[in-house]
Structure 1
Amino acid sequence: MEHSINFDSVSTYNKFGNHPTYHPLISVLDLSRAKPNQIKHMHMGIYAISLKGVKVGDLRYGKGHYDFQEGTLVFFSPGQVLHIESNEEWRQPQGLILVFHPDLIRGTNLARHFHEYNFFSYKVNEGLHLSEDEQEIIKDCFAKIETETKRPIDKHSKQVIVANLELLLTYCVRFYDRQFITRETVNKGILERFESLLNGYLTSDKPQTIGLPAVKYFADELNLSANYFGDLIKKETGKTPLEFIQLKLIDAAKEKIFDDRKTISQIAYELGFKYPSHFTRLFKQQVGVTPNEYRRLN
């Protein structure tokens, strides 16, 4: 029979990891202390940042798999359901994991821009692969947070812990930027596939049957999370996927406008717009003139 567990508090995760609770809202655990278990499903109600040491089985989230590669950071957020898949005997995990409750950062400056850390919604197969030096930096951040959690709580505790957590996340942003650069060949391959899929979409009947091309559609086709896909395309092109799609839409519209047998409304519907007025508004925003004015000028 499959077993599941709800991690709705830091103390629940500490109990699962055989670790004492020093602070009610944040904890750093040594995974080697975990006891054997038969857990197959994990329902996350807290945030987690995991630095794995050895392969202990496959982790599935949605359509993506993650093989617990050594030296990789993986991020989890409340609402995710994780599935453990392993055909092997239970193996003792190695590594570190930092877990924290959303209440930890409420009312702080970190909370106001936390949404910028897109990697908490990346798929598990989009983890952050660290060099040895980078691993040491992350471990040092973990250690500073752990040290502070073991101190008696006073009026400075939250500020110090949140500041160190923000420093850790800033390093993660830097290392992801490095990863996008060092995996340039892979990224360009994804960009080429995106362009090909987009061109194919616009020349098919999908705009009429499905609607305007959406970022999520192409992220799913490329088996990427929407946020990872968005960050990758922005790094490669300087434009968000939506901006990229809109440019392609306008290029396709310009070609169609030269066919004066078609009305502007017909062109709008062919491109997937429900309302011609929306098409006219976007066209003018991008080109500077309305579709009808563009037709007359050309």
Structure 2
Amino acid sequence: MDKKIPTESLQQYYQRVGLSVPAELQGPDAKGHFNIRGTNCGTAKTPFNRRDYYKICLSPNMGRGDGMLVYNDQEIPLDQPCLIFTHPSVPASIEIRAGSINRFHCLFNKPFIEGHLPPDVQYASALFNHTLHPVIILTKKDSERLSLLFAEMKTLRESDYPFKWDMIRHILQLLVHEGIRLQQGQVAPPTMVRDRLVNVFLTTLNQQFPVDSPESSLKLLTPAHFADQLHVHVNHLNSVVKKHTGKTTRAIIQERVMTEARALLRNTNWNIAEIAYALGFEYPSHFNKYFKHFTTETPMEFRAGQQLKPATHL
């Protein structure tokens, strides 16, 4: 029985939607890739999985009851015009329930955008920070302005302008900044991390995820583990992380482990002992106690309560 958690590659995406796999994705070497699509879709649902690519969706004419984003253990109604940033490691699915919804979505891989956004900007964006809310509600004016950005990327993508990829990257950066700016007006402003140690800590933490196999266990589980890895005293790490994020080092680690625990319980057929080991727990009973402390449910009770609808193509 396959124990791997489902992660859709760009190649699999193109096969799923019935398009030819682009030439730059067919070789063994990682190459930058970007694409943008505009659709007018009826009732449909994307597969519920992780991805090895980034995706930004714009739905400028969403209305009440028109859709739903299932994002890890959340069900988020899509009932207003919105911009959606989904983190690749978080399992997600978009369900469209209305008869006619206009949507833009762009997708790109890490080599395409790598090095073009500083760590503090990434931490403030839901596209790179899984702890942030992925849906940003838009006004009519916002929708019109962002639709122009997507349309401009589509025009550039189809052009023969020699520097089109640089222009598209600049627009992508603008989209990320627009998302951060708009989100600040809707939720508590994300902490802008400008300390190198905090950036390295967050990067090191996130590099452990997603957990792809029950045979490999997480190694860095406590603030002391990370302090040793980063060659600093644990008290210094705790102080700097708390100053720049407003959270303790331990709380950030626990939040990330719990996010992964929910995803594994919901999206794999691994048994509880396998999930416990994969997340660094020596005994399943320790994992049960840990999980119940944060959710009031045991892992088995949480899994039993999850009911997912079958996925269709979109």
TM score, norm. by length of structure 2: 0.47
If asked which structure has higher relative contact order (CA below 8 Å, sep 6+), I would say 2
More helix by share: 1
Specify the structure having the higher radius of gyration (Cα).
1
- TM-score, normalised with respect to structure 1: 0.49
